[in-house]
Amino acid sequence: MKQTSILAFLIAALCAPPLHAQDKNLRMYKCVDTDGKVYYSDKMNPDCAKGTEMNRHGVTVSKKEVAKPAQPIRTNVPTKTSMELERRDKALLASYTSEQEIDAARDRSLAIPMQGMKSVEGKLEKTNLQLTGLKKQADDLASQQKKLPARLLEEVSGSQKELAALEADLAQRKVQADAIRLKFESDKKRFRELKEGGQVTQ
């Protein structure tokens, strides 16, 4: 009976919080290690498998997540896009003093593509005439029910392939020329907006 009383006293002493925990400003932590043993300390052991905080009465305190202060909203902060637009606006105003100068720069940029288009158009006309002549020869032989020479068939096929390549080249050059016109038209519009607004960026 006596041994039972002593054992009960030891268990109560082990589970009860230390006397210095009566200080309301002192925190106490209960730590359970990986072997299941329980320890009490005024500091949380980082090696604890499970740890809880208790108040001065030995009651577990539930920890409430502290809300983080809201980050202030930053306004009027230049973005990468806005900085790039500002850079382009400054370059535009530094490059031209009037819309007429923009038109002149456009025409200079179009000179090479337009010259190339003119050259391709000349080749197209020549190839079309050549193909027309070859087809006429083939039609004449066919009307006479004569066999078409292999040479003639090769020339017709070659001219057709050359014609297709020239047409594709011409179409690509037209796309390039249209892109140049669109670019300078956009520059001229923006230049007008900046001049009328009296500012670099809107």
pLDDT in tens, 125-136: 999 999 999 999
Number of domains in the chain: 2
In this prediction, residue 39 has a pLDDT band, given cuts at 50, 70 and 90, of low
Predicted local distance difference test score (pLDDT) of residue 20? 45
Residues 91 and 162 in one domain: yes
Mean pLDDT to the nearest integer, 82-104: 93
The reply to whether 160 falls in a domain is yes
What is the span of the domain harbouring residue 101?
80-197
Residues 97 and 193 in one domain: yes
The model's pTM is 0.53
**Bigger pLDDT: 84 or 33?**
84
The token pair that represents 164 in the structure block = 């297709």
Predicted local distance difference test score (pLDDT) of residue 54? 57
Residue 33 has pLDDT above 50, yes or no: yes
Residues 50 and 104 in one domain: no
Residues 56 and 151 in one domain: no
